[in-house]
């Protein structure tokens, strides 16, 4: 497993990061099996594990803590904070009040004294960014966190965070975690160049585009909208929508390309993400041991320029096949009142 340096921090991380979102109630409910999956990843050379407090309502962090018993010092461990962890409005967000409590909860569940990387899971429009960076800086200085970062920040927010940190004397974010796949390439326009400009380590998630690039879907009938995430994210999967119908066409084209290389579609998809020079580590989130084994088998694939050129012809750089795939919509677009003068 090849290693790369995380955002100029000197921390060496594997080019695959084990994403723990599917550990627990959202995926692998058997804790012993979940621990076995993590151990297989570590034994294969992955030294980077990413989770979040909200994954399975904290259960993912508990499982990761169990899996790292006796191996903690060999692993770069990342978690995230932002999403609600209870009914009270103050049990979430990026405020000093919440982050101070949330990090202690994560450390307890993970059974560790510190986090190598602690990330704001989303931008919080109700909290001044200086407030968030201030408390995160305090956590670094207290030794509870080594590196701070962000997830799904727009390019202008990445820049804002760098400037706020410099002007106010705070620790600056060193990582960004955006979604990236052959189907979702919009971050190539500004996010990835901005991250590179400021020397950020980039941990990309959803390289298989929510399962579209796993080879699971070949025709419309294969898309079951009655189970799993497809029930609440129909806009991403419903083949009746033209953008999703196009996904099926693209899958067929990519299958042919992968076959010419003698590799699977999943191997092609992961190799594409790893090929971008701004990407430090690609997060893989297997639910089963078999899925992990398949993903690990593709770590040696390096795509030549002619293959990347063909992918560019199928899905142009900087574009999303379905704009509705975006997991973040700023208030300026989500709230019509902000676009109408009263």
pLDDT, tens only, 38-89: 999 999 999 999 999 999 999 999 999 999 999 999 999 999 999 999 999 9
Q: What pLDDT is attached to residue 179? A: 97
Nearest to 179 by CA among 75, 285, 92: 285
Residue ranges with strand state E in the chain: 3-5, 12-14, 16-19, 48-50, 76-81, 115-120, 145-151, 175-177, 201-204, 281-284
Question: What is the reported pLDDT for 172?
Answer: 98
Please state, rounded to an integer, the average pLDDT across all residues of the chain: 95
Which of 55, 118, 180, 217 is catalytic? The answer is 55
N-to-C CA span, the chain: 57
Instruction: Report residue 126's pLDDT band, with 50, 70 and 90 as the boundaries.
Output: very high
Length of the chain: 342
For the chain, give the percent of residues with pLDDT over 90: 87
pLDDT of residue 52: 98
- pLDDT-derived band at 202 (thresholds 50, 70, 90) equals very high
Radius of gyration of the chain (CA): 20
Per-residue pLDDT at 220:
86
Domains in the chain with CATH codes? 11-211+267-334 (3.20.20.100)
How high is the pLDDT of residue 218?
Answer: 84
Cα–Cα distances in angstroms (integers) from residue 314 to residues 144, 159, 268, 317, in the given order: 45, 31, 14, 9
d(C-alpha 75, C-alpha 13), whole Å: 9
The four Cα atoms 97, 99, 102, 104 give a dihedral, to 10 degrees, of: -90
CB 131 within 8 A of CB 94: yes
Torsions phi, psi for 204 (to 5 deg): -90, 145
Model pLDDT, residue 330: 82
The mean pLDDT of 100-115, rounded to a whole number, is 98
Query: Residue 328: which pLDDT band, with cuts at 50, 70 and 90?
Result: confident
Confidence (pTM): 0.95
pLDDT band per the 50, 70, 90 thresholds, residue 119: very high
Pairing state between β 76-81 and 145-151 = unpaired
Judge whether residue 157 has pLDDT over 90.
yes
Q: What does the pLDDT look like over 209-261, one tens digit per residue?
A: 999 999 888 888 888 777 777 777 888 888 888 999 999 999 999 999 999 99
State mean pLDDT over 23-29.
Answer: 96
Instruction: Supply 203's token pair.
Output: 């941990």
What is the pLDDT at residue 326?
Answer: 83
Give 75 or 334, the one with higher predicted confidence: 75
DSSP 8-class letter at 340: S
Residue of 215, 218, 237 lying closest to 226 (CA atoms) = 237
Predicted confidence at residue 120, as pLDDT, reads 98
Per-residue pLDDT band at 317 (split at 50, 70, 90): very high
DSSP 8-state secondary structure symbol assigned to residue 184: B
Where does the pLDDT of residue 276 fall: very low under 50, low under 70, confident under 90, or very high at 90 and above? very high
Active site residue 328: no
Q: State the pLDDT confidence band at 165, using cuts at 50, 70 and 90.
A: very high
């Amino acid at each position: 497993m090849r290693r790369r340096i995380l955002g100029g921090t000197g921390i060496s991380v594997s080019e695959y990061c084990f994403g723990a979102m599917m550990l627990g109630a959202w995926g692998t409910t058997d804790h012993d099996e979940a621990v076995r999956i993590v151990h297989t990843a570590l034994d294969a050379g992955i030294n980077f594990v990413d989770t979040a407090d909200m994954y399975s309502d904290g259960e993912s962090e508990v499982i990761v803590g169990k899996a790292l018993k006796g191996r903690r010092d060999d692993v770069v461990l990342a978690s995230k904070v932002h999403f609600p962890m209870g009914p009270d409005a103050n049990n979430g967000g990026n405020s000093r009040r919440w982050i101070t409590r949330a990090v202690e909860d994560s450390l307890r569940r993970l059974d560790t004294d510190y986090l190598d990387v602690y990330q704001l899971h989303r931008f919080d429009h109700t909290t001044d960014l200086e407030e968030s960076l201030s408390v995160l800086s305090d956590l670094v200085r207290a030794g509870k966190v080594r590196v701070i970062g962000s997830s799904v920040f727009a390019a202008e927010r990445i820049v804002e965070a760098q400037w706020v940190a410099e002007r106010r004397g705070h620790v600056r974010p060193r990582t960004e975690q955006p979604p990236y796949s052959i189907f979702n390439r919009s971050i190539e326009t500004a996010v990835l160049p901005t991250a590179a400009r400021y020397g950020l380590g980039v941990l990309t998630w959803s390289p298989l585009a929510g399962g579209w690039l796993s080879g699971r879907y070949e025709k419309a009938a294969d898309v079951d909208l009655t189970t799993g995430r497809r029930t609440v994210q129909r806009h991403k999967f419903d083949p009746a929508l033209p953008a999703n119908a196009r996904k099926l066409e693209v899958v067929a084209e990519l299958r042919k390309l992968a076959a010419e290389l003698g590799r699977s579609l999943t191997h092609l998809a992961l190799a594409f993400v790893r090929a971008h020079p701004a990407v430090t580590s690609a997060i893989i989130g297997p639910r089963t041991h078999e899925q992990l084994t398949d993903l690990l088998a593709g770590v040696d694939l390096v795509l030549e320029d002619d293959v990347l050129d063909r992918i560019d012809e199928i899905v142009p750089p900087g574009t999303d096949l379905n704009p509705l795939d975006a997991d973040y919509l700023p208030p300026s677009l989500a709230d019509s009142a902000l676009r109408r003068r009263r």
